[in-house]
A and B are shown apart, each in its own frame.
Chain A
Amino acid sequence: MEDGPGGVVVLKPEGRLNMVAAPAVREAVASIVEGGRTKIAVDLRAVEFIDSSGLGALISGLKTARQAGGDLRIAGANDQVRLVLSLTNLERVLTPYDTVENAYGDA
């Protein structure tokens, strides 16, 4: 977790974002929001693989951030992650940005 530009908090999960890792992502988002920060960017560059549990964690994180008046955006997805986002239509909910900087380009 690190600070990005414009007050955005950057979350950087690594490795396989699956059933094992998903709860950690949820908890991280929850603690960021509890700490009063609501603009979150998830940097997926270091994520090799994502499954439906990982996607569930992203949806859940988006909800948490939105309820607090903020947002959650994703960036840097590799091909496997983009394929899953596309197969599940989730790219129609969450835009996969190239970089964290672009993710909050409008902010």
Chain B
Amino acid sequence: MSPWSWCAVKSDQTRVLPSGEIDDSKLDGLPQPVDQAPTERGATARFIAVRILVLLTLISGTIYIGWRWLFSLNFDAWWIAIPLVLAETYALIDVFFFGFTLWRAKSRPAPPAPPPGLTVDVFITTYNEEIDIVRRTAQAAKRIRYPHRTYVLDDGNRPAMKAMAGELGIGYITRGPGWENRPLHAKAGNLNNALLQTDGEFLLILDADQVPRPQILDRTLGYFSKRTIALVQTPQEFINVPDHDPLGSQAPLFYGPIQQGKDGWNAAFFCGSNAILRREALMQLGISRYVIELEEAVATALRGATRVLRRARRRPEAKADPRVAAALDEIRFAVLAARRAVRDHTESLATVTYRLQQTITRVSEELVGADLALIAQDLEAIGELNTETSADFDVLSDVGSNVDALTARELSPLGALSSVQKLLRSIDVDRDDEAQPLMPLATISVTEDMATSMRLHDMGWGSVYHHETLADGLAPEDLGTMMKQRLRWAQGTIQVMLRENPWAQKGLSFPQRTLYFATMWSYLSGFAALAFFAAPIIFLVGGVLPVSSSALEFFLRFLPYLVISQLLFFVASRGLSTWRGQQYSLALFPIWIRSVTSAVANVWFGTPLGFVVTDKSGPSGRAPLRLVWPQLVVAILLVIATIVGVIRLVLGIGEPIGTAINVGWVVFDLIILSVLVHAVRYRGYRAEEKSEGTAA
């Protein structure tokens, strides 16, 4: 029964960036910019207080949840008792993750000034933003003090955007013909495309509506004097948000203690904009992904070869002629050995494929004399196969179609051999590395940023979270757009969890695995929210208590947990206003649930996500109520339940203490949901429109 503790410590739901502590063994003697030393007097005291509170929270929380599981479950009402205790356990685990994150949350000292002469490309990514928004960002990018080149990466391919870039004298990059009829991979594809057309050692990535400040590179490039640093992320803050922040746009907890805490464990992650990346790290990542895909392609081809050979072996010619049978068997063994070698990584792909081809060539030559008539016939069939795999990034589908084409045919034994050889050659280790073989930014998720930084960490690179606002952004100004944005972040995070679960990444340290997983875990909160809404309704209407305990017993264990965790939250957030974030982490429960169901359907069943690019260009009046109908239904049920509960009390059916507790719980739920009232009524940031008139 602790919705309070749960939402009080909601951790990562607003995304931010990483920072990191570095493995000193990888340093190469260059000046070391970073060390986690507190810079202010108060910081040390707070740091110690946070650690003490983390321990106390975890102890009290464990006592409470342990008691809940062992001594307080009402098994007669298991159908609500079990979901509720699971939800509470979920929340406690979330608290554990939050405490782990905070354990090393400190401010970094300023980095050294960067040496002169580094080359930097500034990328402004755009898809459908208005020209003027991009122009404002591009003009500011030109004013960045450290020498650099600026490019607009226009995935909308708009002539007016190109003209604007020409007018400002900056680069303009759009997708080339190589991308036609290929998966575009949204923003990740846009960045990958630009990466191979530019050559700066470092890349500053900016969303179209993130206006950089002139010192952004001077303040961040210094971190890269440590050769293991691949990423420096800075905060994303928004200037078109009123103080009461009706849409919960600002994320002071995330771009603050959370990213600083992740940074303390070298797990600060990339948030898509306002970040500087080392090109070499991305390119190495691209190569490593290329290798993995190649490996899969070879494995697929070898499986296909096995099928072709097995079928050929069953044909009458093979049975009739022992020489043919022996040849096929020899090749089959060679293919099986190759499959094993590829699977177990005992030999390199080049070695395996080379030897297999040599074997096939030799065996075929030995057979040739005996089988000429059939060859002619088969070569004709094989000639129709498309073994030209063009660009690289669809390796798998190309191989798949080749395998299908081959196995669909009835080939004579010798034909089978040469077609197997041809198949191998088509996926040989000879993929073109020029067109776009490399996809350095991860394309497994609609949030390429987090996926990419996890891979960088997996390879041993370090990251930094630099806690200083160096760009001024625009946030969505209406509820609908905001919800789409949150849905996308949540979907992307769940996609990464399903496709590349941090626990399975061998290169990550235990803290890194924990912290990536913590972010993913926080997005599962929608299901817990259902239990937290349902429990008071069920009690007030039906008198069913999921907890079998006296009120005293309950409060004795619950209150310490609640009070201490609230205190932790207060101290850790340094007095910043994080209430909005807390409200939204619960109030947007339908979004979180949908993100999980749609990402599961996408990853496991290939259903499209229904992904929409966030439109941040401006408000369009009041948001429709249908956006929040599930929350509306919940609010109405809560009110009805309260009325029923009071009536039951008056009639003498209800139990007074239980009713009081649950009415209090309902009031809390309603206060949380009330944030949506402000959000639906919000019509955009008018003050900004006025000041922009004068600024322009």
Residues on A lying within 8 angstroms of B by beta carbon are 19, 51-53, 55-56, 59-60, 62-64, 66-67, 71-73, 84, 87-95, 106
Contact = CB atoms under 8 A, between A and B. Distances in A.
Interface string B433-453: 110011000000000000000
Given A52-B280, A56-B433, A89 B288 contact: yes
A88 B438 CA distance: 12
Contact of B429 (A19, A53, A63): A63
Interface in B443-467: 459-460
17 contacts: A53-B283, A55-B287, A56-B433, A59-B431, A59-B437, A60-B433, A66-B430, A71-B350, A73-B350, A88-B288, A88-B459, A89-B287, A89-B292, A92-B349, A93-B349, A95-B350, A106-B355
A95 to B, nearest CB: 4
Contact of A52 (B283, B430, B434): B283
A84 B433 contact: no
Q: What is the interface residue range for chain B against chain A?
A: 20 to 34
Contacts of B291: 88-90, 92-93
A90 B429 CA distance: 11
Contact of B287 (A19, A52, A71): A52
B553 interface: no
Nearest to A91: B348
B428 interface: yes
A41 B432 CA distance: 20
B501 to A, nearest CB: 19
Contacts of B295: 92
Contacts of B355: 106
Interface string B287-320: 1101110110000000000000000000000000
A53 B440 CA distance: 13
Given A19-B199, A62-B430, A63-B433, 19 more contacts: A51-B283, A52-B287, A53-B283, A56-B287, A59-B290, A59-B433, A60-B433, A63-B428, A63-B429, A63-B432, A66-B430, A87-B284, A87-B459, A89-B288, A90-B287, A92-B291, A92-B295, A95-B347, A95-B351
B429 A93 contact: yes
A80 B355 CA distance: 28
A94 B288 contact: no
Nearest to A84: B284
Nearest to B431: A63
Contacts of A60: 433-434
B286 interface: yes
Nearest to A52: B283
A53 B430 CA distance: 16
A22 to B, nearest CB: 10
Pick the 8 closest A-B CB pairs, nearest first.
A52-B283, A63-B430, A89-B291, A95-B348, A88-B287, A66-B430, A88-B288, A89-B288
A72 B431 CA distance: 14
A10 B406 CA distance: 38
A88 B282 CA distance: 11
